[in-house]
Amino acid sequence: MKSLKFREWAIKRISKSGPIPLSVAMSAALTNRDFGYYHSKQIIGKTGDFITAPEVSQMFGELIGAFLGYIWQQSGNPMDSLICEFGPGRGTLSEDIYRTLRQICPDFALSPLHFIEMSNSLRNLQEKKLKNQSVHWHKNLREMPQKPLFAVANEFFDVLGVDQALYDGEHWRNRLLDFNGKFELVAGPILNQTQLKLFDTNLIKNPKQGTVIEHCPKAKQIISDVALHIRQFGGALLIIDYGKMNQIGDTIQAISNHRPVEIWSTAGEADISHWVDFNSIKRTTEKTGARFIGPVPQAHFLTQVGIKKRAQNLAKIDSPIHNRALFAAVDRLISPSHMGNVFQVGLILPPGRGMPAGFHVM
């Protein structure tokens, strides 16, 4: 079992170097080639552990495709553009985007498709699903051509490992993973000045003892790279993820078979994620000179870009049985009791003015 291999890896590392930073443990649990969860064959869908929005309904991907086409047109129809998805899963979203763009922006649809993907098993699924498209795989953005980039990251940043700090009443300390018969979180060394800046502890006024804050080093680096690329060469990155506007709280969670499970005892066999700090994304983007818009709730974005109208049009040509499933999917995507409010949508653009569709706030 992968969880046993993770346990063996963690115990060996802890015995050698002491308690583990949470970002390191999370990254290993998800991406290690021997026991990493993302090297499993079936993780997404009804028979997997979780369902993403593109798997809920084709309407999600169609609307994302239409939005990217709209942004491409607003950018002047650059003919040397790239289309990119970060963490494309089974390729469902990109398949729906491509089908939509062929209808509304056929020139844009011809743009080469680039994936940021680490999992070989998922690459194989993507290659089979998108066999009629020209797909290029990369480990990071720096491998991609310096051209206008129109990208989407759906549930990508929430699986990049986070580090945590705990306030002990006087100092901020690293929060680490230890093993003493079972996995436990422990308070480690006091944060040094560099770490205090990375965690942006200055944003936390009068913290209470026991306050936990999070910092995602990989997200800051990726956002910095993307924002700089977009500022220099044009394009956009649409971000859709579990999110909030601060770094306060322990938000690490694990899902297996569509249900929450204990995080570290199931590591390697469960999807581990965290809530994305959109305020950090905004600050990082603006430091590069690019523009960040949002975030707005997923329900707000999808409603403004036309999900209800799309569902009504589809209902006119489908059967009553399929229509029930159709409107159930809409409810799952935009209802506050499902994905509508916990998922947030943000957008990175070059410097400029104006508010694109989907982000108008009354």
Checking if the pLDDT of 209 tops 60, the result is: yes
Co-location of 268 and 338 in the same domain: yes
The total number of structural domains in the chain stands at 2
Q: Say whether both 203 and 298 belong to one domain.
A: no
Residue 249 inside a domain? The answer is no
**Is 225 found in the same domain as 192?**
no
Tens-digit pLDDT profile for residues 260-287: 999 999 999 999 999 999 999 999 999 9
Structure tokens belonging to residue 106:
């056929």
Answer whether residue 252 is part of any domain.
no
Do 330 and 285 fall into the same domain? yes
pLDDT tens digits, one per residue of 59-84: 999 999 999 999 999 999 999 999 99
Give me the mean pLDDT over the 129-152 stretch.
91
Question: For the segment 156-167, what is each residue's pLDDT rounded down to a tens digit?
Answer: 999 999 999 999
The verdict on 276 and 210 lying in the same domain is no
Residue 257 in domain? no
Tokens of 116: 């940021």
321 and 187 within one domain: no
The DSSP bridge pattern shows strands 82-86 and 183-190 to be unpaired
Residues 146 and 44 in one domain: yes
Q: What is the pLDDT of residue 119?
A: 79
Residue 222's pLDDT band (cuts 50, 70, 90): very high
Residue 157 identity (one-letter amino acid): F
Is 256 among the domain residues?
Answer: no
- The 3 state secondary structure assigned to the chain is CHHHHHHHHHHHHHHHHCCEEHHHHHHHHHHCCCCCHHHCCCCECCCCCECCHHHHCHHHHHHHHHHHHHHHHHCCCCCCCEEEEECCCCCHHHHHHHHHHHHHCHHHHCCCEEEECCCHHHHHHHHHHCCCCCEEEECCHHHCCCCCEEEEEECCHHHCCCEEEEECCCCEEEEEEEECCCEEEEEEEECCHHHHHHCCHHHCCCCCCCCEEEECHHHHHHHHHHHHHHHHHCEEEEEEEEEECCCECCCCEEEECCEECCCCCCCCCCEEECCEEHHHHHHHHHHCCCEEEEEEEHHHHHHHCCHHHHHHHHHCCCCHHHHHHHHHHHHHHHCCCCCCCCEEEEEEECCCCCCCCCCCCC
User: Which pLDDT score, from 0 to 100, does residue 327 have?
Assistant: 83
Which DSSP string do the residues of 84-120 spell out, in sequence order? EEES-TTSHHHHHHHHHHHHH-HHHHTSPEEEE---H
Helix (H) or strand (E) holding 4: helix 2-17
Span 306-319, average pLDDT: 81
Largest CA distance in the chain: 64
Give pLDDT, residue 325: 81
Ramachandran angles phi, psi of 204, nearest 5°: -95, 105
H/E stretch holding 132 reads: none
102 is written with which tokens?
């062929």
DSSP per-residue string spanning 302-329 = HHHTTHHHHHHHHHTTS-HHHHHHHHHH
- Other C-beta atoms closer than 10 Å to the C-beta of 325 total 12
Q: What is the mean pLDDT of residues 165-175?
A: 97
229 and 300 together in one domain: yes
For residue 200, what are the domain limits? 2-33+162-215
Give the end of a domain, one of 199, 215, 231.
215
Place of tokens 């990119």: 84
Residues 105 and 181 in one domain: no
